[in-house]
Amino acid sequence: MIKTDLIIIGAGPTGLFTVFEAGLLKLKCHLIDALPQQGGQCSEIYPKKPIYDIPAFPEILAGELVDNLMEQIKPFEPGFTLGERAETLDKQEDGSYIVTTNKGTKHHAPVVVIAGGLGSFEPRKPPIENIVDFEDNGVAYIIKDPEIYRDKKVVIAGGGDSALDWAIFLADVASEVSLVHRRNEFRGALDSVEKAAELAKLGKIKLFTEAEVKKLFGDEKLEAVGIKHKDEAKGETYLEVDNFIPLFGLSPKLGPIGDWGLEIEKNAIKVNNAKDYQTNLPGVFAIGDVNTYEGKLKLILSGFHEAAVMCQYAYQIINPGKRYVMKYTTVGGVEGFDGSKKEAKKEVVQSIS
Ligand SMILES: Cc1cc2nc3c(=O)[nH]c(=O)nc-3n(C[C@H](O)[C@H](O)[C@H](O)COP(=O)(O)OP(=O)(O)OC[C@H]3O[C@@H](n4cnc5c(N)ncnc54)[C@H](O)[C@@H]3O)c2cc1C
């Protein structure tokens, strides 16, 4: 049994930053994530994409943001159970909770923080009969490292931002990029649509609209795709390719969390946003993309704010009757559980005292 102060379900940016805020209050955290690595959507879906709306970072790659968060929480020595999905939540007589994973690992704490983002997310797959045979053998639903596609012939399918952005990006990396979309109009940002059209004119992207990839060919590895056109007179286009990347988005599923007796609205957990981001279950909080309330913005910075507020209330559950006086980190420093203080912070403390 792993014992801690806060069990955090989800090691995305919100879950990771919670460790920092809890650490300032001397609360220990253990994170559970179904994915084999930390970072949530940032690591799994778009590690090489730049983010422009993290305060004080005019531009930062999603993967770098995760690396920085990991560095920031290091002094607080969080525990991790990775590659396991939180399956059950059992309330104990004293009001604490036991969270058990699909592999049977048990975690016990007075507070549970659900930072599960979109839940256990699954990519939407196109209905092509033999597609599973080529998964990891030419077919991928997420681009983790664009370098894999250097000098390769790539077909991307989809009409949203992901499909457009990656087609534009890979035009300079792959030897050949084709973009296949079943409509004439794209759903992405206007400048991405214009940029893709411009690259198509220059012959850097082969554009197939009103068309769908319907067949995949190859022995063990993908070798070609068959494209069906809406205009039957055009027949079928056969393209020799190394990779097929359907980018049709993710189907968000709350998964087992949906059966824990939490109030759910539109696939998200309702919380008390006027106070502490607590759910209808006492001692169970929900922060980041996984929660919903009026005016909710599903942005990384919202999760960071919610983590800071929520930890103040978690402190009161864990230390009933004890008063905590909030200090700025520039005054209080950042002290890890091993007692180590960051030198830069120490200097600030000395210079003002
Ligand atoms: C392509 C793209 C671009 C984006 N660009 C921006 C941007 O520019 N700026 C911005 O602010 N936001 C952006 N976002 C949104 C941003 O990524 C999310 O707001 C953010 O990731 C939410 O963080 P989170 O930690 O709440 O959830 P997530 O990042 O979704 O992490 C949740 C984690 O919980 C885990 N989990 C869920 N259920 C369980 C379970 N039962 N057991 C164990 N683990 C579980 C999941 O595996 C996941 O790792 C973008 C999103 C996408 C897809």
42 vs 63: CA distance, rounded Å = 6
182 vs 208: CA distance, rounded Å = 8
CATH number for region 2-121+250-342: 3.50.50.60
Pick from 53, 76, 59, 70: nearest CA to 13:
70
CA 40 / ligand 1 centre spacing (Å) = 5
In this structure, are strands 250-251 and 122-123 parallel, antiparallel, or unpaired?
A: antiparallel
CA 118 / ligand 1 centre spacing (Å) = 6
Interior angle at CA 209, CA 145 and CA 123, nearest 5: 40
- Residue 123 burial (C-beta neighbours within 10 Å; 0-12, 13-18, 19+): middle
Residue ranges matching CATH 3.50.50.60 in the chain: 2-121+250-342, 125-246
Q: Is the CB of 2 under 6 A from ligand 1?
A: no
Fold type of domain 125-246:
FAD/NAD(P)-binding domain (3.50.50)
Q: Is the CB of 51 under 6 A from ligand 1?
A: yes
CA 284 / ligand 1 centre spacing (Å) = 19
Two tokens at 41?
């959507």
pTM above 0.85, yes or no: no
Atom number in ligand 1 closest to CA 13: 25
Q: Is the CB of 23 under 6 A from ligand 1?
A: no
- C-alpha distances in Å from residue 124, one per residue of 95, 227, 320: 39, 19, 46
The per-residue pLDDT string of the chain (353 residues; one tens digit each, 9 = 90 and over) reads 999 999 999 999 999 999 999 999 999 999 999 887 899 999 888 888 899 999 999 999 999 999 999 999 999 999 999 988 899 999 999 999 999 998 899 999 999 999 999 887 667 899 999 999 999 899 998 787 889 999 999 999 999 988 999 999 999 999 999 999 999 999 888 989 999 999 999 999 999 999 999 999 999 899 999 999 999 999 899 999 999 999 998 776 788 999 999 999 988 999 998 899 999 999 999 999 999 999 999 999 999 999 999 999 999 999 988 877 777 777 777 777 777 766 444 433 333 33
Two tokens at 152?
């390769």
